[in-house]
Amino acid sequence: MELEGRVAIVTGGAVGTGRAIAERLAAEGAVVAIADVDDAGAGETVGRIANAGGRAERVHADARAAGDLADLVAFAVRNLGGLDVLVNNAGGGGHVPPHFPDASPAEWGATLDLNLRGAMLATQLALEPMAAAGGGAIVNVASTAGLGLAPYACPEYAAAKAGLIRFTSTLAGLRERMGVRVNCVVPDWVLTERAEADLAAMAPAGRAAAPEPLPLAALTDAVVAFVADEDAAGRVVVLRGGAPPRLLPAEEPDAP
């Protein structure tokens, strides 16, 4: 899919990875709806895109709120002319304790809602307008926290990201059924402004021990590549600093 003239939604687009993805999509010619609860940050993203010659609109939306997500999709269709691309980038909550089992069900449930349920619902809401327009592309942004079997400090965050990866792979059949391709990028530590601040605050030994962060451009390249690749559906790519992208193999369904 060529992005010129397309309509895209990026959730969590106010800062960090979401801002970088939104700016890249706009630079490729898409009109971008910047969805976030951070109105000031989303407005700054819109301004940055406008200053670079692109077009974007700010939409207040909480990825945990079904009504907000429904209004977001309706806004894109009504005000921007349709919906061609959805990037489910909103997420977080894995760094600040308490975590499961010390967190309350409401606390760890909110992390699941933000990192998994919100992406599932946004995907479901996007399918009808995308199919009606002849197809579309959805890219989920997971995390390497969802890979492997090692212990993790925030179990609910790791479980949500693992679920997002598996959710993506189960939807490969939507390409044939509805013309909608769902794929997933799985970045490790990304060099956002927050990561730069964390690195600057570390002692030399901590910086030496830290993993090499992933450049933002590597993440946005992977998102754009999935949007462009008309054959990719249900695929998952792992991104780590200092290493080439690793496309996970598409597995055959388990035998009954």
Q: Which residues are catalytic?
A: 157
- Dihedral of CA atoms 56, 62, 63, 67 in degrees, nearest 10, equals -100
CA-nearest of 11, 153, 36 to 88 is 11
CA-nearest of 146, 144, 74 to 116 is 146
Q: How many helices (H) and strands (E) does the chain have?
A: 10, 8
Question: Residue 95 contacts by C-beta under 8 Å, 6 or more apart in sequence?
Answer: 154
CA-nearest of 13, 31, 36, 139 to 81 is 31
Distances (CA, A) of 211 to 15, 187, 190, 244, 253: 22, 12, 10, 15, 34
Residues 188 and 240: beta-carbon distance below 8 Å: yes
Q: Can you tell me the distance from the alpha carbon of 239 to that of 129, in angstroms, rounded to the nearest whole number?
A: 30
Residues 108 and 100: beta-carbon distance below 8 Å: yes
